[in-house]
Structure 1
Amino acid sequence: MTRIVVIDLHGQFTHLERRALRDIGVDTEIVSADTPADELDADGIVLSGGPDMDRVGNAPDYLDLDVPVFGICLGMQLIALERGGAVGGGDYGGYADVDVEIVDDEDPLVGSLAPETRVWASHADEVKELPAGFTHTATSDVCGIEAMSNVEAGLYGVQWHPEVAHTERGEEVFENFVTICESA
């Protein structure tokens, strides 16, 4: 059975990320971001959302493990910063329903979604510049970079929260990540 751990970056929806994975038959648990990288035993890692970069613990070290990593909101921003991208304050601010446009229908994480998909997202902070080697995979009127992927490195991220009921086809995003992990 595929095992994916959810790294707790202190977000309010972390438990829902675990539940979404459990509901699709994945062996999963929430793990503290203070866990040393060499103690993680998983086929994939989800970096949860969270309030700020000051509480990410050892999460940057997890990007160098030989397993796929899926960053959600703060998790995506962490990936971008650690790989040389830029993160800054969003013009829109807090949580809202947003229509995202999938701009890369070949992307293994979000490419299967409808060309326009309604999601629940926070834009207090957002990725402003992609790191080298990453592909821009989704956009919106509110945020230029709603999703990104580096398939070769096994690093993926979305600005929105696929684990909440307000997001259309959120379960599909988790199913796609499981497929990525099983193929790695």
Structure 2
Amino acid sequence: MTTIVVVDNGGQFTHLEGRALDDIGVETGIVGNSTPPDEVDADGIVLSGGPEIDERGRSGEYLDADVPVLGICLGMQIIADEYGGAVGAGEYGGYADVTVDIDDETDPLVGSLAPETRVWASHADQVTALPDGFDRTATSDVCGIEAMSDAERDLYGVQWHPEVAHTERGEELFANFRAICESDD
């Protein structure tokens, strides 16, 4: 069975990420972001959301774990920051229902959601410049980079929260990530 571990960055929805993975038939667990990556045996990693990028713990070390990584909200921002992208305050602010336009229908994570999907997202902070090697895969009226991918390194990020009920097709996004993890074996 595929195992995907959630690294908890203090987000209020982290437990829902674990539950969403469990609901699609993935073996899962949640570990604190102070857990060393070599103590985690997984086919994929989810970096959860959370309140502060400065409280990322060892999350950045998971990017070298040689398994696919999905960053959700703060998790995406951590990936961008670790690889030289930019993260800054969003103009829109807190949580809202947002229509996201999918830029790349061939992207293994978000492509199946094209042409657009409704999501629940926070834009208090967001990725403002892509890191080298990443492509923007989704955008919205309130955020220029709603999703990003580096399929070569199996690193993916979404600004929104696929684990909450307000997000349409969140389960499909997690299933897409499971497929990425399974094809990486």
TM-score by length of 1: 0.99
Aligned residues: percent identity? Answer: 74
Which residues of 2 match residues 1-184 of structure 1 at below 5 A?
1-184=1-184
CA deviation string 1:116-159 (max 9, x = no partner): 11100000000000000001100000000000000011100000
Q: Deviations over 1:89-127 (max 9, x none)?
A: 000000000000000000000000031111000000000
How far apart are residue 63 of structure 1 and its match?
0.3
Distance 2:154 2:138 in 1: 17
User: What 5-or-longer segments of structure 2 have no aligned partner?
Assistant: none
Query: Size of the alignment, in residue pairs?
Result: 184
Write the distance in 1 (CA, Å) between the matches of 2:101 and 2:88: 21
1: CA distance, partners of 2:41 / 2:33: 14
Q: SS in structure 2 opposite 1:137?
A: strand
Return the TM-score normalized by structure 2: 0.99
Query: How far 1:36 moved relative to its partner?
Result: 0.8
Provide Cα deviations, 1:4-49, integer angstroms capped at 9, x if missing partner: 0000000000000000000010000101111112111100000000
Aligned partners of 1:114 and 1:144: how far apart in 2? 17
Return structure 1 stretches of 4+ with deviation > 2 angstroms.
Answer: none
1:34-80: per-residue Cα shift (whole Å, max 9, x none)?
A: 11121111000000000001221111100011100000000000000
The one-letter amino acid paired with 1:120 is W
